[in-house]
Structure 1
Amino acid sequence: MSLQRKLLKSELTSELDSILKYWSEHTVDEQNGGFAGQIDFNDQRIENAEKGSVLNSRILWTFSASYQTTKNENHKKLAERAFEFLIAYFYDTKFGGLFWSINEDKTPKDTKNQIYALAFAIYGLSEYYVISKNEKALEIAKNLYLKIQEHSYDPVNKGYFEAFTRDWQPIEDLRLSAKDANEKKTMNTHLHIIEGYVNLYKVWKDEKLLEDIIELLETIDKYFINIETGHLRLFFNENWIEKPDVVSYGHDIEAAWLLQQCAEISGNEKLIENYKKYAVQIAEATKEGLDSDGGLWYEFDPEKNKLIAEKHWWPQAEALIGFYNAYQLTGKEEYLDIVYKNWKFIKKHILDQQNGEWVWGIFDDYSLMQKDKAGFWKCPYHNGRACLELISRIQD
């Protein structure tokens, strides 16, 4: 192994410790239970902030996955804390779904069933089962999978619908966030359903689940991957009529490696072959979004021919894995060089060297985006996972 790769592995090992330390020391909510709902860019906890189920599930996944590498008992305890809080306050025992958010007093706030959130709960619960063998975690993960199949799956046109009311009725506003198109089928949700399903399959070798995984990978292949451009298509109606939108460089490079990994776990040779090919094609297309400083731009709007000139934290994390994966597939040093340059950019502009964790991002003039350090969408999952993936992939 080259000295440069050895150094990268060593630095990412230290960075994983640093990320976990931040979340261990700053986010545990002793007063209200669970974890803080929001910490601002000055590392100030926002009192009375609502708590999101996605953040809780991502914390659950991160500490469960990290414990398998760190063997730090505190990381296992924090995973357990996230699990206990999830099943006590986010899991809806009446209708079998998951609350999108709760108030600080732990009462339900937004009770819609956003399928994206259920997928992340499956992802986190399955990972927690690996370290705890807690049957309750596996049981709830299975229940959520069955609810998605029962209510969200489209038996006519395939794929999955976005969101429902608490009692699984149709809902007007399907969006994950205000910036998203209000469409019935989205790339983002399908990407994370497959991620959750595959993680569940690793601990529960169910034949029907495997069939659903293979069908979902085929659906993603058919509709979401634009083989002409190497980018992802993001939004569709129920009949798979596309609503053209931005190019999302972060989602592109995340999908590149993640879908390949899912295909490999499915064991389907044809899908493995296809997704290995896409992993390189998408990585190649994502190079369009790289700046000369090594950072990955956020999005590009083809209709306006306009770059969304921001560099958010999570696309950088996914770029580390996606381009390293492309290097592993091809042996081409240029992909490895992108990884080194991107990590250098992260260290210089995205890591908060003083207080820990990663900042939300920077604008094109390198000024700081004054957004959460922890919150609904700011979590330890992307950057923690990037560290874990590369630590594992860079072999001694």
Structure 2
Amino acid sequence: MEGLKKEMHDELLSILEYWTVNCVDEANGGFIGAIDFSENKDFIADKGSVLNARILWAFSAAYPVTGNERHLQLAQRAYEYIAAYFFDKEHGGIFWSVDHQGNPKDTKNQVYALAFVIYGLSEFYAISRHEEALALAKKLYGKIEQYSYDPVNRGYFEAFTRDWQPIDDLRLSDKDANEKKTMNTHLHIVEGYANLYKVWQDEGLKDTIAGLLHTINEHFIDEESGHLRLFFSEDWVEKQDVISYGHDIEAAWLLQWCAEVIGDESLVGIYKKHAVAMADATFEGLDADGGLWYEYEPQEERLIAEKHWWPQSELWIGMVNAWQITGDAKYFDAVQHNWEFVQQYILDKTNGEWIWGVNADYSKIEKDKAGFWKCPYHNSRACLELMSRL
């Protein structure tokens, strides 16, 4: 166990080193918008708010562990860029993207992005005590509650125009269903809110987190299967979709953590039970090589036969958490087996960081090394969590 803990420490430093060396945009400020599979840097690529919020979180969360002043500087750099360029000073939201020079590009308010900025800002405040960062996090929390919360049916709406009007295309990405309420956004709102509560113990925020956890319990978790339900209409009519193994195991531990942050023992009990059931359900997606498949299409009984980088990361935390709850070694064994898979197929031993993933035949998926969705958040968090938990 000590050996694995040491390996997680070394891997954390390796991940952060890649982003430190390769991703700072000296010409335009902030961080480069994209680096492709072949390590080509695109200095004129658009910059995404989610990527920048996750960079902010990763360097902020790592700094107390590494003590590396450069990590603190990069967290500060990420904060300053978000505050200067992604925050919409006119309407109080967050731009989905800006161009390489920081001009607003896609100006919609995707609530998922606001939640991640709150997550990053609160982590940065924890290491810096920068009052303006906390004030911005509180401001974004207020905007989500003002515009996104559904007072009739509960839950949160996905997206709005820049000035908070209804928008036709609510999707996070092209692969998503165009529905008003999604598991992914609710999961990351409660994650962001819980991180904010750690540094701002407001009773109203605590009650909001508890209410959100009850809503997730009621609508998004299928107790029969142990999987998540992903997409819903405004009044909670489900749209059948894929089983997402990565989201299942991420939610398994993360929702329990949110309940623990607010100290609600009833909700902790509920989510510990879910954590084990969802970890058990995730075994359906584990291959013999230890890797976790991406998704399964139940209507067509078809496996989406790819193993992406981020579900492997979440598997580590979710399975270690289930092992901590039950004491059953099968969960810990799954982590060790998966780490061997990641080392063999996902780590980029030449250039650093992790590749996007592999196909069923182990050919590499030739997508971004850095970009809108390829970030240092899932894998650095997995290293940090295992270092803390083991």
What TM-score do the two structures reach when normalised by structure 1? Answer: 0.98
Q: CA deviation at 1:47?
A: 2.9
Q: CA deviation at 1:354?
A: 1.1
The partner residue of 1:315 within 307, 311, 319 is 311
Q: Which amino acid aligns with 1:153?
A: Y
Q: CA deviation at 1:39?
A: 0.2
Q: Which amino acid aligns with 2:161?
A: T
Q: Distance in 2 between matches of 1:172 and 1:54?
A: 21
1:183 aligns with 179
1:375 aligns with 371
1:66 aligns with 62
Q: Distance in 1 between matches of 2:360 and 2:182?
A: 28
2:297 aligns with 301
Task: Map Cα deviations across residues 107-131 of structure 1 (whole Å, 9 max, x no partner).
Answer: 1000000000000000000000001
1:221 aligns with 217
Q: Distance in 2 between matches of 1:324 and 1:345?
A: 17
The partner residue of 2:258 within 251, 256, 262 is 262
2:327 aligns with 331
Say if 2:388 is the partner of 1:392: yes
Q: CA deviation at 1:208?
A: 0.6
Q: Distance in 1 between matches of 2:184 and 2:269?
A: 23
Say if 2:5 is the partner of 1:9: yes
Say if 2:137 is the partner of 1:149: no
Q: Distance in 2 between matches of 1:97 and 1:39?
A: 27
Q: CA deviation at 1:154?
A: 0.2
Q: Which amino acid aligns with 1:279?
A: A
Q: What percent identity do the matched residue pairs reach?
A: 65
Say if 2:89 is the partner of 1:93: yes
What is the DSSP-based 3-state SS (H/G/I as helix, E as strand, rest coil) of the residue aligned with 1:92?
coil
Q: Which amino acid aligns with 1:318?
A: E
Say if 2:336 is the partner of 1:340: yes
The partner residue of 1:40 within 30, 36, 39 is 36
Aligned 1:161-240 pairs, distance under 5 A = 161-240=157-236
Contact 2:25 2:43 in 1 (8 A): no
The partner residue of 1:272 within 260, 268, 274 is 268
Q: Distance in 1 between matches of 2:225 and 2:255?
A: 17
What TM-score do the two structures reach when normalised by structure 2? Answer: 1.00
Gaps spanning 5+ residues in structure 1: where?
none
Task: Map Cα deviations across residues 314-373 of structure 1 (whole Å, 9 max, x no partner).
Answer: 000000110011100000011111010000000000000111000000000000000000
Q: Distance in 2 between matches of 1:183 and 1:68?
A: 39
Task: Map Cα deviations across residues 189-224 of structure 1 (whole Å, 9 max, x no partner).
Answer: 000000000000000011110110000000000000
Q: Distance in 1 between matches of 2:315 and 2:59?
A: 22
Q: Distance in 2 between matches of 1:166 and 1:30?
A: 29
Structure 1 runs of 4+ aligned residues shifted over 4 Å read none
The partner residue of 1:246 within 242, 249, 254 is 242
Contact 2:37 2:369 in 1 (8 A): yes
Q: Distance in 2 between matches of 1:198 and 1:300?
A: 30
Q: Which amino acid aligns with 2:208?
A: D
Q: Distance in 2 between matches of 1:259 and 1:69?
A: 24
Gaps spanning 5+ residues in structure 2: where?
none
Q: Which amino acid aligns with 2:105?
A: K
Task: Map Cα deviations across residues 82-126 of structure 1 (whole Å, 9 max, x no partner).
Answer: 000000000001000000000112110000000000000000000
2:129 aligns with 133
What is the DSSP-based 3-state SS (H/G/I as helix, E as strand, rest coil) of the residue aligned with 1:110?
coil
Q: Distance in 1 between matches of 2:324 and 2:334?
A: 13
Cα RMSD, aligned residues only: 0.4
Q: Distance in 2 between matches of 1:344 and 1:118?
A: 35
Q: Distance in 2 between matches of 1:291 and 1:73?
A: 40
Q: Which amino acid aligns with 1:275?
A: Y
The partner residue of 1:18 within 9, 14, 18 is 14
What is the DSSP-based 3-state SS (H/G/I as helix, E as strand, rest coil) of the residue aligned with 1:300?
strand
Task: Kindly tell me the number of residue pairs found equivalent between the two proteins.
Answer: 390
Q: Distance in 2 between matches of 1:250 and 1:227?
A: 17
